[in-house]
Amino acid sequence: MRRYREFHRESIDRPEDFWRREAARIHWQTPFTEVLDRSNPPFARWFAGGRTNLCFNAVDRHLDTRAQQNALVYVSTETGIERRYTYADLHAEVNRMAAVMRSLGVQRGDRVLIYLPMIPEAVFAVLACARLGAIHSVVFGGFAAPSLAARIDDAKPTLLVSADAGARGGKVIDYTPLVDEAMARAEHAPPRVLLIDRQLAPERLNAPYLIDYEPLREQHYNAHVPCEWLESNEPSYVLYTSGTTGKPKGVQRDVGGYAVALAASMEYIFEGRAGDTMFTASDIGWVVGHSYIIYAPLLAGMTTVMYEGTPVRPDGGIWWRLVEQHRINLMFTAPTAIRVLKKQDPALLRSADLSSLRTLFLAGEPLDEPTAVWISDALGKPVVDNYWQTETGWPMLAIQRGVEALPQKVGSPGVPCYGYDLVLRNEHTGEPCAQGEKGVITLSYPLPPGCMQTVWGDDARFVKTYWESVPGQQVYSTFDWGVQDENGYVTILGRTDDVINVAGHRLGTREIEEAISSHAAVAEVAVVGVNDTVKGQAALAFVVLRDAGAAADPAAADKLAAALAATVDRQLGAIGRPARVHFVSMLPKTRSGKLLRRAIAALAEGRDPGDLPTIEDAAALQQIREAVEPTGKA
Ligand code: ATP
Ligand code: MG
């Protein structure tokens, strides 16, 4: 692995040289005076003094060469609407949106909160903010009013952009009542809400602060709004983390560093080229959506496919038909989606022409071995797991095929990406771990371009939370466990708060989950620790089967539970064997598909799981309650 090794080495030893070169990928209106300002650690200022604009780089810059190429292809299986926007169309729409925002008082540095479903206007709004130098904060459209209100109060926006309704799985979700409630709850409610009326909600609200977008768009149809040239370190956006482990943090990102990092990642990690088509099946409310639905493909002159709908409606073949119809080259989604598809008829996948597809990228949660094997066999294409966080903005660990196509190691997202000085450290001493020793995944100063600058409005929280949690070292903590092998491959062993202690043995719940999910009957599993008077903690497993009928009667369920316990015994040893296995039909997850282990553990101990604004389907909680109840009484 010569090329990768040297490449990575240079990025760590001589970051200024490395990133100066990469910075040439974007347009600088004014050149930067310093590649990296390290005067105030742990803060890092990339490309200090340089002036640029994300919207210019994502849209305007391509007009000379690819005005007639599709920039955005929109498909909604919820409404049946399909639209295509060339770079010229996108430019026009972004200018209209920017002019409308400007007419509503939005200025450089102001926050604009975007609470929208997956519609093209969401992309226009994000890029319009970038154009004006306003700071966007996209709030996932599935959040309820209290979450929206909390984010309004944190971001204090000048404007909120919303829609009459979203749609999911064939059900229309009215947004205006949610917006109304959030506006009433929030202390810093903006004076106006710009409303995209999709005419989906049968009876939309008409509060005085609501203004319809369409007539304003008409008024500004031929508008041209110049790009604000921002200093590289001015904020581009604030995005709140998914809140799996607690109160969401407002991750603030810069302009220039982010643009450079994404453009570079497109070549080195995703192997995306101008003219390619990329389909990132995520939501614009998450970091994957920000980076790989909107910014990176457009910065690279590609076509991005935006999809509103689920992977199983009208049937489990829909994504593969999209690949065929739109000649998609790169696809990116979360392992959850693949686990959902694994339960569908495999013929649906095989019947589509997937010849255009080069690679499938998966991120956001652990990719278990059976799912990885299933999808790569089914597709016959490389499947690239990649590990990162809202905080980093782009992958920290991956096989960087555009640098060197190192072999995959099942169960590991790969090796550290260039730019990241990733070190596993002992949680007690802060010292680097030996090979094969489990430790906290940390990053040394400085973080590469594109990573979070600070917590919005709270530098102290940024320093304290991220940079002061490893003993004796000022390093960035990811709050994830990992282990690194002799070739540099890192395996993620779960979050630092997902460790259980059984009779004095510390076990990562992830390791037990891996063992259970290797059984062919299992579609998904969550393992949590509950208090146990004898052992300190005991592991409970909640299992979703590929075929729900397999545990329909108690005898079959017992037999299967025993088989799963035996699988764990074989792979981990009896110490990891779950005290009980419960079969459920779904698991509580966040809207972004992450397991809510803390909530499951609370329920399993008969405690209140607390407020779960990010939960996908609250019915899953009831299933956990019912599953543990009989044993709770016994
Ligand atoms: P919060 O920080 O508010 O609790 P969150 O950590 O779930 O929320 P995200 O930033 O969306 O918010 O998720 C990042 C986390 O997801 C990582 O820290 C890691 O735990 C997990 N993760 C992401 N990608 C992978 C991957 N490829 N393999 C294993 N885990 C992953
Ligand atoms: Mg996190």
DSSP per residue, 440-457: EEEEPSSPPTTS--EETT
Which DSSP category does 488 fall into? S
Q: Per mean pLDDT, which of 183-197, 332-346, 524-538, 601-615 is the most reliable?
A: 183-197
Pair 248, 256: CB distance under 8 Å? no
Q: Give the model's confidence band at 206: pLDDT under 50 very low, under 70 low, under 90 confident, else very high.
A: confident
E runs forming strands in 99-140: 111-115, 135-138
pLDDT above 80 (res 11): yes
pLDDT tens across 83-93, in order? 999 999 999 99
Which DSSP category does 393 fall into? S
E runs forming strands in 533-619: 536-545, 580-583
Q: Which helix (H) or strand (E) holds 150?
A: helix 145-155
371 lines ligand 1 (CB under 6 A): no
Query: Could you tell me the CA-to-CA distances from 548 to 368, 414, 580, 586 in Å, in that order?
Result: 20, 34, 18, 10
pLDDT above 80 (res 497): no
Instruction: Please tell me whether the overall predicted TM-score, pTM, comes out greater than 0.85 for this model.
Output: yes
pLDDT the model gives residue 633:
42
pLDDT the model gives residue 629:
82
Å from CA of 246 to ligand 1 middle:
12
Q: Indicate which residue's Cα is closest to atom 24 of ligand 1.
A: 364
| 4-309+388-480, CATH topology level | Rossmann fold (3.40.50)
Sign of the C-alpha dihedral computed for residues 221, 222, 227 and 228 taken in this order:
negative
pLDDT above 70 (res 156): yes
Pocket test for ligand 1, best of 466, 509, 594, 595 (most atoms within 8 A of CB): 594
Å from CA of 47 to ligand 2 middle:
27
User: What is the CATH number that goes with domain 503-631?
Assistant: 3.30.300.30
What value does the mean pLDDT take over residues 24-41?
98
pLDDT above 50 (res 27): yes
Q: Indicate which residue's Cα is closest to atom 14 of ligand 1.
A: 389
pLDDT the model gives residue 226:
98
pLDDT tens across 277-324, in order? 999 999 999 999 999 999 999 999 999 999 999 999 999 999 999 999
What is the number of alpha carbons within 13 Å of residue 488 lying toward its C-beta? Answer: 20
243 lines ligand 1 (CB under 6 A): yes
More confident: 226 or 346: 226
pLDDT the model gives residue 278:
98
pLDDT above 90 (res 345): no
242 lines ligand 1 (CB under 6 A): yes
Pair 367, 412: CB distance under 8 Å? no
pLDDT tens across 237-250, in order? 999 987 666 677 89
Which DSSP category does 61 fall into? G
pLDDT the model gives residue 164:
97
- pLDDT > 70: percent of the chain: 98
pLDDT the model gives residue 1:
53
492 lines ligand 1 (CB under 6 A): yes
pLDDT the model gives residue 632:
44
pLDDT the model gives residue 2:
62
SS3 of 187-256: CCCCCEEEEECCCCCCCCCCCCCEEEHHHHHHHCCCCCCCCCCEECCCCCEEEECCCCCCCCCEEEECCH
pLDDT the model gives residue 55:
99
Neighbour count for residue 278 (Cβ, 10 Å): 23
Pocket test for ligand 1, best of 151, 240, 242 (most atoms within 8 A of CB): 242
State which ligand 1 atom lies nearest to the alpha carbon of 592. Answer: 11
Mean pLDDT of the chain: 93
State which ligand 1 atom lies nearest to the alpha carbon of 249. Answer: 3
513 lines ligand 1 (CB under 6 A): no
List the single range of 255-269, 288-302, 515-529 with lowest mean pLDDT.
Answer: 515-529
* Residues in Cβ contact with 594 at an 8 Å cutoff, skipping those fewer than 6 apart: 242, 244, 336, 364, 365
pLDDT above 80 (res 602): yes
Å from CA of 468 to ligand 1 middle:
20
- From CA 565, how far away is CA 541, in angstroms rounded? 10
426 lines ligand 1 (CB under 6 A): no
As annotated, the residues of the chain forming the CATH 3.40.50.12780 domain(s) are 4-309+388-480
Pocket test for ligand 1, best of 282, 387, 440, 476 (most atoms within 8 A of CB): 387
594 lines ligand 1 (CB under 6 A): yes
What value does the mean pLDDT take over residues 178-192?
96
As annotated, the residues of the chain forming the CATH 3.30.300.30 domain(s) are 503-631
What value does the mean pLDDT take over residues 202-208?
86
pLDDT above 60 (res 252): yes
Q: Indicate which residue's Cα is closest to atom 23 of ligand 1.
A: 364
More confident: 536 or 220: 220
pLDDT the model gives residue 591:
81
More confident: 508 or 634: 508
Q: Indicate which residue's Cα is closest to atom 17 of ligand 1.
A: 389
Å from CA of 120 to ligand 2 middle:
28
- From CA 352, how far away is CA 584, in angstroms rounded? 32
480 lines ligand 1 (CB under 6 A): yes
What value does the mean pLDDT take over residues 244-266?
91
